[in-house]
Amino acid sequence: MTYGKKRALSQYGKVAAQSEGEYASPHRLVQMLMEGALDKMATAKGCIQRNDLEGKSAQITWATSIINGLRASLDPERGGEIAANLDDLYSYMLQRLVDANVANDVAIMDEVIGLMLEIKGAWDAMPEHIRLGRPAVEANG
């Protein structure tokens, strides 16, 4: 693929993501952040494997920024114990990304990617009524 085509595809992706972000629900925005963090971490892992240290650092920095954004979006008052646990987990993931960056360690990247996949899997499985902030419909029985 030529550079021009890659650039055009990249620009299209940015516009599509921006458009989706403008109309997305808060639940979908968090999904998009998680997807972005996973993408950046996977790219960083590839950079480590190719010994692209500059690329690795840039991708890890970007993933770190996204995780910090997820962390900042937590609501300790409404989220209670779940928010506290996620805060601790995000903090751990951030430290492990620093460790992976310093050590150029693919295994650490895999660990953090696995943790984010678990969080995202639970987020994706959230029932629709919770996603929309509505009470559950009780069954008449």
Task: Give helix 76-103 / helix 106-124 axis angle, nearest 10°.
Answer: 160
Coil/strand/helix, residue 118: helix
Whether residue 111 is contained in a domain is answered as yes
Whether residue 133 is contained in a domain is answered as no
Report pTM.
0.79
Whether residue 64 is contained in a domain is answered as yes
Q: How confident is the model at residue 18 (pLDDT cuts 50, 70, 90)?
A: low
Residues 33, 40: Cα–Cα separation, whole Å: 11
Which domain, by its residues, includes 110? 25-124
Residues 94-107: pLDDT tens digits? 999 999 999 999 99
Whether residue 7 is contained in a domain is answered as no
What is the CATH number for 39?
1.20.120.340
Whether residue 105 is contained in a domain is answered as yes
Q: How confident is the model at residue 131 (pLDDT cuts 50, 70, 90)?
A: confident
Number of domains in the chain: 1
Residues 26-55: pLDDT tens digits? 899 999 999 999 999 999 999 999 999 999
pLDDT value at 139 more than 50:
no
Whether residue 8 is contained in a domain is answered as no
Mean pLDDT on 122-129: 90
Mean pLDDT on 112-118: 98
Q: How many other C-beta atoms lie within 10 A of the C-beta of residue 46?
A: 15
- From residue 21, alpha-carbon distances to 17, 33, 65, 125 in Å are 6, 10, 17, 20
Q: What pLDDT shows up at residue 123?
A: 94
Whether residue 5 is contained in a domain is answered as no
Whether residue 114 is contained in a domain is answered as yes
